[in-house]
Each structure stands twice: as structure tokens, then as C-alpha cells.
Amino acid sequence: MDVDYPTLFFFEVGEWWDYAMLIVVIAALAFAAWLAQRSKWFALTTFIVIPVLLTIFWWPYSTAGTHSAGWFAIVKQYSALAGALSLVALQYFPKLQKSKTYLALPALLLAVNILEAVIRDIQCYWIHGADPVNGLWTFGGPWNLMNAAAGILNLIMIGGWVGIYVANDKSKAIIWTDLTVWWIIAYDLWNLSYVYNCLSDRAWYSGVALLLACTIPALLPFGKGAWIQYRAYTLTYWSAVVLTFPAFMHDSIFAHRPSHSAAAMFVLAAASLACNVALFIYHIHRIWVTKRNPLTQELYADLPAAKELVERTASDEVKAEIAARLKQN
């Protein structure tokens, strides 16, 4: 599709304030997630009190006639809220930390989130023009199927949730060592490609900004191992912003448009698929070499980065449990 504005392959050139707002959104989401991780009352206020008030007094009216109208945006918000609250409960109820069934919940919610997007990518393969679901411009093609395949591989590589634990320090961070940096990068490429394919006009903020808001903390010392918490919290906050200010990404001066280029969609999907295929091969190799079951054991907890993280954040009891699982055949 031809566009009437200058582009830099993936997005329009834009104005300086588009880039400034990108930084503001990333910083605000990451900081809010950091606060929610460390303060029970901030988490309860922003995940229960404020959403209830907005549900009653604002969201039913703010989204009418906008790209956020309909059931999808509402369902996204409440599913994200459920995920965030499940992690808050894990932080503050020690009995849940001992429940292998409950520890599987973050993995299940993550898998469902990926599966929903995979299905949507496949649906968008047949859409050429205005998406009947949200009215956004959509141009289906092989990139949808390529990225759907990448998402399935990424989902299969979710493992080691039995080793999720709450950090033994003031942060109370939820640590999941088997969501490695390489898995996070593969996930980010897949998710960015999905948003660019299926929600293209929102990709600058709902793709680039939102993913960086949870990935940057996960690469820094204070957030290592806690990507799942930053992802759940930033997604919840951003979903609320989309419902509260539905015109922000489309009709405000901060709207930043994609190039609508088939070549850009193909390149992004190809990078997503290549990264996930490469990581999947390594994942299978790791299972073969270690003879571990990622459904009942950690697969990567004995790698140097994970060992350092566990040594720094886990209690003696958790360390002993991890060591015992790693010895199982």
C-alpha cells in the first residue's frame, strides 16, 4: 500500500515529539511496574481500585466510536489484569509459592496470550484493507503465517515454571530463570511482528514501547529474571491507557504511523521466525544433552547467569530445591 508520508522502512519519519513520547511511555510503564513489584498497596490500587472505578465511570463511554470499541480491548484489559493479580498473589501468599499447580498458572496465561495472537495472525492472512474487528488497516500475506509458526515455537519453549520463586529481598521479584534473555529476544521479535502485522497503526507504542518497557528492566541488574512480572504489569497498564485515551495512538499529535510496507512486514516476520527456529533447535539440544524434562525441571538454571541470579536472590531452601531438581534424571 502506498503512503503519502516519508518513511524509514518500518515507520514514518515523524516529528521529534513522537520519539520523545516513545521514551516517556517506556519510562512511565517500566517505573509503574517497578513500583507495583515493590509495593503491595500500589499494586492493589492500580490493579483493583482504579480499574473498578474506570469500569464504572469511564471505559464504557470513552471507547465508543473509536478503534478501542468492542469486546476485544475490554477482554485484553481484564485478561491482563487477571495475570497481574495472579502474580501479586504469588508474591504475598507463601502457600501459593509451594503449589506446583499454582506455579504453572503464569506459564498457562503466557501460553494462552501467545496462542491468541497466533490465531489472530492466521486470521489476518485473509484480510486486505480495513480490519472488520477494529477498523485498522491490515494487509495479510505470508508474513502472517511465518510469524504464527514463530509464535508456536516460542510457546513450546515455555518451560521450567516449577522453578519460579519469589526473591528473598525487598524487591519480592518473581524470578523465572528459564525465561532466558534469548527467549525474551525471540518473544519480542515475534510479538513485535504480530502487532506490526495485525495492529499496525498501534505498533509504535503497543509494539516498540510496550516491549522495551518490560525488556529493558529484565536486562538490568534490578530486573533480571523478573521479565514475566514486568511484562504482565506493563501490559496491564498500557491496556488501561488504550481504553482511557483511545485517540492517543491514532488522532493525537503523538500518533506515529507505520510504513504499511509488505517488505517491512516480511523482514520482521522472517527475523522472528529465524530467531525462534534457531532457539528451538538449541532448546531441543539442551533437553537432549541434559536429559531434563522442562515440564518438571529447570532447563537453564545451571547456566552461569542463572546460577549467579539464584545465588543472589534465592533463599537457602529454594537453592536446595533447585539443586535437587537439577540432579533428577
* Structure confidence at residue 328 (pLDDT): 83
Phi, psi at residue 120, to the nearest 5°? -65, -40
Q: In this structure, is residue 266 part of a structural domain?
A: yes
Q: In this structure, is residue 1 part of a structural domain?
A: no
- Mapped onto helix, strand or coil, the DSSP state of residue 137 is strand
- Binned at pLDDT 50, 70 and 90, residue 59 comes out as confident
pLDDT, mean of residues 281-295: 96
Q: In this structure, is residue 4 part of a structural domain?
A: no
pLDDT of 126 > 60? The answer is yes
pLDDT of 61 > 80? The answer is no
Q: Which residue, among 223, 201, 216, 172, has the nearest Cα to 25 in the 3D structure?
A: 216
- 299-310 per-position pLDDT tens digit: 999 999 999 999
Residue 37 C-beta-side C-alpha neighbours within 13 Å: 28
- 148-185 per-position pLDDT tens digit: 999 999 999 999 999 999 999 988 999 999 999 999 99
| Residue bearing cell 507504542 | 205
User: How many of the other CB atoms lie within 10 Å of CB of 245?
Assistant: 13
- Mapped onto helix, strand or coil, the DSSP state of residue 311 is helix
pLDDT of 243 > 70? The answer is yes
- Binned at pLDDT 50, 70 and 90, residue 196 comes out as very high
- Mapped onto helix, strand or coil, the DSSP state of residue 174 is strand
Q: Which residue, among 326, 280, 329, 328, has the nearest Cα to 302 in the 3D structure?
A: 326
| Residue bearing cell 547467569 | 305
pLDDT of 266 > 80? The answer is yes
Count helices and strands (H / E) in the chain. Answer: 14, 4
d(CA 258, CA 285): 38
Counting residues of the chain whose pLDDT is more than 70, the rounded percentage is 95
Q: In this structure, is residue 3 part of a structural domain?
A: no
pLDDT, mean of residues 258-267: 94
- 27-41, 45-59, 210-224: which range is least confident on average? 45-59
pLDDT of 58 > 90? The answer is no
* Structure confidence at residue 250 (pLDDT): 83
d(CA 242, CA 62): 10
| Residue bearing cell 491490515 | 138
- Binned at pLDDT 50, 70 and 90, residue 134 comes out as low
Question: DSSP of 204-250, one letter per residue?
Answer: IIIIIIHHHHHHHHHHSGGGTT-HHHHHHHHHHHHHHHHHHSTTTTT
pLDDT of 234 > 60? The answer is yes
The Cα diameter of the chain in Å comes to 61
Q: Is residue 106 a contact partner of residue 176, using CB atoms and an 8 Å limit?
A: yes
Q: In this structure, is residue 9 part of a structural domain?
A: no
The grid coordinates listed for 98 are: 509451594
Give 155's contacts (C-beta < 8 A, 6+ positions apart): 111, 114, 115, 118
pLDDT of 68 > 70? The answer is no
Q: In this structure, is residue 132 part of a structural domain?
A: yes
Q: Is residue 88 a contact partner of residue 47, using CB atoms and an 8 Å limit?
A: yes
Q: Is residue 83 a contact partner of residue 112, using CB atoms and an 8 Å limit?
A: no
Q: In this structure, is residue 50 part of a structural domain?
A: yes
Q: Which helix (H) or strand (E) holds 175?
A: strand 174-175
Give 267's contacts (C-beta < 8 A, 6+ positions apart): none
Counting residues of the chain whose pLDDT is more than 90, the rounded percentage is 76
Domain membership of residue 257 as a residue range: 16-327
- Binned at pLDDT 50, 70 and 90, residue 316 comes out as very high
- State the total domains in the chain: 1
Beta strand 128-130 with 137-139: parallel, antiparallel or unpaired? antiparallel
- Binned at pLDDT 50, 70 and 90, residue 72 comes out as low
Length of the chain measured in residues: 329
pLDDT, mean of residues 1-8: 74
Q: Is residue 249 a contact partner of residue 202, using CB atoms and an 8 Å limit?
A: yes
- Residue type, position 179, single letter: L
pTM for the full model? 0.94
Q: In this structure, is residue 7 part of a structural domain?
A: no
